[in-house]
Amino acid sequence: MNRISIISCVLLLVFSCTANESPKPTPTPPQEEDDFPLIEGGESVLSIEAVNCERVARVIGKSAEDIPSPNDTPNRFKMASTDFGNMWDAGNGSVFCVFGDNFNSYGGDWLSNAIAISTDHDLTNGLYYDSMLWDTSKNKRKEIIHREDGEVTCIPTGGFSALHNNHPRQYINYMSIRQWALNGDNDSWLTNFNELVYSDDMGETWIKSGVKWNSESNFAQIAYVVQDDLVYMWGTPAGRHGSVYVARVGSSNVLDKGAYEYWNGESWEKNEDVAVPIANGEVSEMTVRYNSYYKRYIMMYLDVKERKLVYRDAAKPEGEWSAEKIIMNGTYGPSIHPWFCDGRDLWFVSSTVTTDPKVSYDTWHIFLYHAKLRADEDGFNMVYEGGFEYDKDQGLSYRTLWDAPNAITSHDAHSGTMSCKVINKIDGVWKDACVQKVYIHKNTDYILTGYAKAGIDNSTTAYLGVRLQSGEIYDDNPALNPDEWTLIKKEFNSGDNTSLDVFFGTWGASGQYAIVDDIKLEPKKVF
């Protein structure tokens, strides 16, 4: 996000509003169950999907839609615009909701961060904020982390609570921003570091711990899950163009940087340098929660290339993680509500950028969304868009994780309506139809499958396989025909590799083409 113009406006525009409390609204009756089958949870569920996503309510800003808007934040809290409302259970019967850059009307009264508090257990009519941490001397919302020299702003990216001396201690990981919009790219920014701060008085005062990750770290932006006595920490590099990494630490050792363990593709190790990606893509600000009903972790973020809000699921914090699954367009910075992760519902907030004709810059607002969770009938798949069904009106590689330089879409599909086709009439020349990088675990058995056709009877020139990062290739090329789909299956062990390229392609021959559909990669033992 390009906040440079907005921050400059802070010096010119300062608006004030009256901080009047409005009564908590009476919630509407619970929504009726959707009319689709919902498979029971448990270990038999290999993967989940989110369906029937809908916008429920406005959370921040003045209502401009025909949906509930219970908070009236401009008048109650002098906050008309903000984004990324990250949430966590504060451990005292409330939820802390932390924001980054926030403003009063039309860009004035800028603060680097703020926190709202909610005890709302019924979200059917919106997420209600009981209060905000308040600066009584200034009669407005409190900035909890203050800028220092060399900092443009201090943006919280993740928070959690853990017991300390039998009382809940609040933790926030914030990124110290040095520069927004590197080289004109609003999805790139430069940090000085990111640091843990903590509070032992329910957010009234925050202490900088000195536990930091530097500007080059793969843990510049954080999502947390506390489970038993461990705190799991998923990270991405600064900006929105990196992959996902994971670390963990005992809940009693959060402020000991040397106690953190990082996933190296096979085991946990106390050395940040060994951390390897666990999920591919161009990942923005993210949220992770554990759903106890389906016994799956859920990760959500904006895929920058797709410009769509996506989610993945996994049985373990380190994965294997499923491929991205699209939940909706047009939003970013999601945060899953921590109190509703024990059933079939997915409640989350997400941010939207809007252009106000009265001013020359964009504003940001947060909305509450609801979706239903169910077992994914297609099972577990580590390959994104293995059925080639997304963006049917666009080129095959348009904003996807596929690299498809020689491919076109085809309506001759094994399932659905789309497949991937490559035409190669040049004798003795190889052409990749589609290639996709996937991060994997070391020394793990995998199964790759797909369905293929060829333009020549009994053709053996088309291959489906994987290229490991070490150079080994595992593929297969059964005889293919134009009139029937043939299953291609290849099993292999990853060895010491933590990534591979899934590929399909063909050697050239007169009149040769090949079609592939429903590509799937999964571990032989799916957790």
pLDDT digits (tens, 9 = 90+) for 43-70: 568 999 999 999 999 999 888 889 999 9
**What tens digit of pLDDT does each residue of 96-117 get?**
999 999 998 767 899 999 999 9
CA dihedral over 310, 315, 319, 322, signed as positive or negative: negative
- 326 pLDDT higher than 70: yes
Homologous superfamily in CATH for domain 407-523: Galactose-binding domain-like (2.60.120.260)
Each residue of 479-516: pLDDT tens digit? 999 999 999 999 999 999 999 999 999 999 998 999 99
**E-strand stretches of 200-319:** 207-214, 221-227, 230-236, 242-250, 261-263, 268-269, 279-291, 296-303, 308-314
pLDDT, tens digit (0-9, with 9 covering 90-100), for 262-302: 999 999 999 999 999 999 889 999 999 999 999 999 999 99
Q: Domain segments of the chain: what residues?
A: 4-23+36-375, 407-523
Does domain 4-23+36-375 fall under CATH 2.115.10.20? My reply is yes
Question: Which residue, 374, 380, 296, 370, is CA-closest to 340?
Answer: 370
Contact 254, 162 (CB under 8 A): yes
* Mean pLDDT along residues 474-478: 97
Q: What is the pLDDT of residues 360-395, one digit of tens each?
A: 456 889 999 999 999 999 999 999 999 999 877 777
50: three-class secondary structure by DSSP: strand
> Worst-scoring range by mean pLDDT, 17-31, 192-206, 227-241, 428-442?
17-31
Query: Which of 24, 137, 140, 125 shows the shortest CA–CA distance to 75?
Result: 140
pLDDT on residue 41: 59
Query: 11 pLDDT band (50/70/90 cuts)?
Result: very low
Predicted pLDDT of residue 527: 61
pLDDT at 19: 35
pLDDT at 335 over 50: yes
| Mean pLDDT for the stretch of residues 311-330 | 95
| Beta-carbon-side half-sphere exposure of residue 245 (alpha carbons within 13 Å) | 22
Beta-bridge mates of residue 313: 298
Beta strands in 112-205 (DSSP E): 114-118, 131-132, 134-135, 140-141, 153-164, 167-179, 190-199
Burial string for 256-272 (b: 16+ CB within 10 Å, else e) reads: ebeebbbbbbbeeeeeb
Q: What are phi and psi of 142, to 5 degrees?
A: -95, 135
Which residue in 260, 234, 294 sits closest to 41, CA to CA? 294
**pLDDT-derived band of residue 358, with 50, 70 and 90 as boundaries?**
low
Q: CA separation (Å) from 297 to 33, 129, 136, 185, 514?
A: 23, 27, 40, 31, 37
Per-residue pLDDT for 32 more than 50?
no
Please state the φ and ψ torsions of residue 338, each to the nearest 5 degrees. Answer: -75, -15
Nearest residue to 77 via CA among 160, 10, 16: 16
Q: How many residues are present in the chain?
A: 527
Mean pLDDT throughout 397-424?
90
Q: Is residue 30 over pLDDT 70?
A: no
331 phi and psi, to 5 degrees? -135, 170
Helix (H) or strand (E) holding 5, with range, is helix 4-9
Among 221-230, 238-247, 403-412, the range scoring the smallest mean pLDDT is: 403-412
Residue 31 has pLDDT above 80, yes or no: no
Using alpha carbons, list the distances in angstroms from residue 361 to 5, 12, 364: 7, 14, 10
**Among 92, 93, 197, 95, which Cα is nearest to 144's?**
197
With tokens 């095959």, the residue in question is: 396
Q: What is the mean pLDDT of residues 167-194?
A: 95
List, in sequence order, every residue forming a beta bridge with 88; answer none if it has no partner: 96
**Averaged pLDDT, 8-33:** 35
pLDDT at residue 36, as a whole number: 45
φ, ψ dihedrals at 259, nearest 5°: -90, -10
**4-23+36-375 and 407-523 agree in CATH topology:** no
Given a cut of 70, whether residue 409 has pLDDT beyond it is yes
Residue 206 has pLDDT above 60, yes or no: yes
Q: Which token pair is 235?
A: 């990270």
Residue 315 has pLDDT above 50, yes or no: yes
pLDDT surpassing 50 at residue 14: no
Mean pLDDT for the chain?
A: 90
CA distances from 109 to 7, 61, 247 (A): 10, 14, 37
Q: What pLDDT does residue 44 have? A: 64
pTM for the full predicted model: 0.90
Query: To 10 degrees, the CA torsion angle through 319, 320, 323, 327?
Result: -40
> Does residue 3 register a pLDDT over 50?
no
SS3 74: helix
